[in-house]
Amino acid sequence: MDEHALMALKKSELYSSLWQSCDELRGGMDASQYKDYVLSLLFIKYISDRYADQPYAPIKIPPGAAFQDMIALKGKADIGDQINKKIVAPLASANQTLNQSDFPDFNDPVKLGDGQEKVERLTNLIAIFESKVLDFSNNRADGDDILGDAYEYLMRHFATESGKSKGQFYTPAEVSRVMAQILGIRDAQTSSSTTVYDPTCGSGSLLLKVGDEASTNVTLYGQEKDATTSGLARMNMILHNNPTALVYQGNTLTDPKFRDGQALKTFDYVVANPPFSDKRWSTGLDPLNDLHDRFKSFGVPPAKQGDYAYLLHIIRSLGSRGKGACILPHGVLFRGHAEADIRRNLIRRGYLHGIIGLPANLFYGTGIPACIVVVDKENARQRQGIFIVDASGGYLKDGSKNRLREQDIHRIVDVFNKLTEVPNYSRMVPLEEIEENKFNLNIPRYIDSQQAEDVQDIEGHLRGGIPNRDIDVLQPYWDAFPDLKSALFQPVREGYSQLAVPGSELKQTIYSADEFVAFTDRMQEVFEDWRRRAARQLKSIQAGCHPKTIIRELSEDLLAHYTDQPLVDRYDVYQHLMDYWAETMQDDCYLISAGGWQAQTYRVLEKIKSGKKKGQKVDKGWACDLVPKELIVQRYFTADWQALTQQQAELEAAAAHQDELEKEHSGEQGAFAELDSIYKSSVACRLKEIRDQPESEDELAVLKAWQRLYEKQSKVKKAIKESAAALDELVYGKYPALSQDDVKSLVVDDKWLAVLQSQVSGEIERICQTLTTRVKELGQRYELPVPELAGQVADIEESVGTHLARMGFAWS
């Protein structure tokens, strides 16, 4: 067994354990404050691993200012002051991109406590980042920023914990990805001279997502009003391998930092998630005499609604061919007065390319729904319409917030980038229609995303019969199964039909139909075609692979493969893969990237959480993450497993028989009536008492039967323990004999693709079950017309009245 296998990188566990460890040390400190210490330590750890002792590194680590030097301060009475003076100050002084104000005060007694409390808190915090699994100096999947992603993970959790007023520093990664992908930067001819700007960059996550989307390195610029948050952004840039990014602190509206002389600097791409409806946007600014002409051509936003102030700053900051995207509340689409004038001018200029309505409760600073306003200057002159997407219904409930799923992100991006019109979801709205609506862009005016109401048909209830319009709603099924419709329904009069088979036989009729069987077989073939291709691709990955590239290529291939398949929503199939990736495959690919196709076993040590031995580790056996032991059992030791399963079945049967015996004879006259509790010792004692009493023959037989069942269970339990230990030893001994091809087959075929096949088959089953359920529902709804129901009620009333009269009760 490789003891060093404990150090194998599991990305998900790394992040979650990092969060849990840090959160345990927080004490009474507010999450919005504690995050500054945690993220700063992660940053110092990263730059120390990444750049220490490199002569021409973009980030300089002065002698004595690395994370290793911080470790030497653990336990010292003046640890906080020493961190400030010996670590933080030299780092800030040696790097122009860093300021000492970017870091929190490590000697602050108010936040960290005083005396020994501060010493222990800082010492324990340093110890978390001292873990060997956080050493990435020689172990990084190039292109996958493990520590950078850890920084994002921690920021997201801190945003969740920080509450409504303090979580605005972080734009949800899912929304950032949508914005990055709809700008078109991936397909553009980019270079280091391509510029991307975020005027309200927060911690920089949105800006980084756009930079990541580009095919080459681009230059990033950001400005953030809050001093602490701007420091987080600078660290985030460096953590994500963008050390040359420029992030300045200051109020973008009153003091924009990026200028060409007196004029605003212009950029190729601009993105922003500004504060919603900022009531103090004009403080310190005279909008009528704006030095940068941001409002002159469009109008001045209302004094208490700053949304358009930020959007107009973005438009002014875009070059003549620039493209931008901004998150704003829905009010900007329909509010009147000054905002209506600005909106009309923007539309007439052709600057507004599209609007994407998002689900409510996505953002950490507010629960209100927002939209993405997409700006395109390059094609403004040719603009004939605005593309509108209502994506408000696609999300997953995640704790107190909503979250875009992978399928929601992909659907939005696909539809928007291809300008695909989808009923009740998206359409290109002509400018003439918008003008007819007085330039109101409220999404429900143009897209009806409400699900059709399931209307009760009065005639159907009165006369019987299923309305044909309800049957016709299921047309996608009848397109796939043309003959099934006539097998399930028969006409009763014009516009109405009835079930041609009893409701109890519906499922069997549907599932046994030749068309249905052919469909399920065809869907199995469709998956098998993709499975063979995916298996070849997955078995070709090697150490040093880029997991993010792997899942992007794999998922796009799956999505394309299921295009135009009947009944199947390709995005639902895609979501199964992405969920399984997040749950299992991602960690496996990082293990392979770090060490190749090695099935390393390791001891599982678990900390005791309470009691006298709290903190001590208990050996819980062995495990293998890449090739779990059940895979070895299923492939190589099926007979042994079946024998063990049979023993477990015997144990369960004996326990069930024993339980039945206890229930049957536990009454006042039962064999167990004299026992306070039914245990081995109490039963044995009672047997000794009555063994020579002829009148207790029945009780004696029951107790002996119970005793035999108990002894049988003991014997079987012992056999199971021995069999399990023997099987465990066989399985453990198999790992060293596994070839690389064996490992690949076990992981790719038996683990990854087997799970995905099961999930996709479940999706097909769900689709078919939906049809069965709906047809059965319609049949039951209109099975009995109201007159017949009324007659049945009258008959029941008469019957009840007769019975009551016989018993002497009056019935009126």
Cβ atoms of 229 and 255 within 8 Å: the answer is: no
- Tell me what the mean pLDDT of segment 32-43 comes to: 81
Q: Which stretches within 259-330 are classed as H helix? A: 307-317
Predicted confidence at residue 710, as pLDDT, reads: 93
Of 312, 331, 324, which is closest to residue 369 (Cα–Cα)?
331
Percent of the chain residues past pLDDT 90, beyond the cut: 63
Cβ atoms of 10 and 625 within 8 Å: the answer is: yes
Q: How far is CA 645 from the centre of its chain?
A: 36
- Provide the 3-class DSSP secondary structure of residue 66: coil
Percent of the chain residues past pLDDT 70, beyond the cut: 93
Q: 695 versus 756: which is more confidently predicted?
A: 756
Long-range contacts for 529-538 (Cβ within 8 Å, ≥24 apart)?
529/561, 530/557, 530/558, 530/561, 531/753, 531/756, 531/757, 533/557, 534/558, 534/753, 535/748, 535/749, 535/753, 538/748, 538/752, 538/753
Predicted confidence at residue 164, as pLDDT, reads: 47
Residue 390: is its pLDDT beyond 80?
yes
Residue 516: is its pLDDT beyond 50?
yes
The CA distance from 502 to 47, in Å, is 71
227-247 tens-digit pLDDT: 888 988 898 898 888 888 999
Q: 128 versus 370: which is more confidently predicted?
A: 370
Residue 131: is its pLDDT beyond 50?
yes
- Tell me what the mean pLDDT of segment 366-372 comes to: 87
Query: Taking the CA of residue 768 as centre, how many other CA atoms within 13 Å lie in the half-sphere pointing to its CB?
Result: 23
**Minimum mean pLDDT among 330-339, 488-497, 661-670, 717-726: which range?**
661-670
Eight-class DSSP state of 352: E
Q: Which two tokens stand for residue 182?
A: 């709809």
Predicted confidence at residue 423, as pLDDT, reads: 94
The CA distance from 301 to 337, in Å, is 9
- Tell me what the mean pLDDT of segment 572-584 comes to: 96
CB atoms within 10 A of CB 574: 22
Strand partners, 490: 498
CA angle at residue 652 from 651 to 658, to 5 degrees? 90
**Minimum mean pLDDT among 418-432, 452-466, 688-702, 781-795: which range?**
781-795
Eight-class DSSP state of 103: S
Assign 69 a pLDDT band (cuts: 50, 70, 90). Answer: very high
Give Cβ neighbours of residue 702 (< 8 Å, ≥ 6 apart).
Answer: 661, 665, 670, 671, 672
Cβ atoms of 1 and 622 within 8 Å: the answer is: yes
Provide the mean pLDDT of the chain. 89
Strand partners, 498: 490
Q: How far is CA 797 from the centre of its chain?
A: 56
The CA distance from 276 to 165, in Å, is 12
pTM equals 0.86
Segment holding 326, helix H or strand E? strand 318-329
Written as one string, the DSSP assignment of 155-191 is HHHHHHHH-TTT-TT---HHHHHHHHHHTTTTTS---
Predicted confidence at residue 258, as pLDDT, reads: 97
Question: For 124-266, where are the E strands, in sequence order?
Answer: 195-198, 219-224, 246-249, 259-260, 263-264
Cβ atoms of 99 and 231 within 8 Å: the answer is: yes
10-33 tens-digit pLDDT: 666 667 767 776 776 677 676 667
Predicted confidence at residue 162, as pLDDT, reads: 61
The CA distance from 582 to 588, in Å, is 10
**Minimum mean pLDDT among 198-207, 442-451, 454-463, 604-613: which range?**
604-613
Q: 612 versus 9: which is more confidently predicted?
A: 612
Assign 169 a pLDDT band (cuts: 50, 70, 90). Answer: low
Predicted confidence at residue 727, as pLDDT, reads: 96
The CA distance from 766 to 457, in Å, is 27
Q: How far is CA 708 from the centre of its chain?
A: 52
- Tell me what the mean pLDDT of segment 69-74 comes to: 95
Question: For 617-666, where are the E strands, in sequence order?
Answer: 617-623
336-350 tens-digit pLDDT: 999 999 999 999 999
CB atoms within 10 A of CB 634: 14
How is the chain split among helix, strand and coil, in percent rounded to 5?
A: 55, 10, 35
Residue 2: is its pLDDT beyond 50?
no
Assign 756 a pLDDT band (cuts: 50, 70, 90). Answer: very high
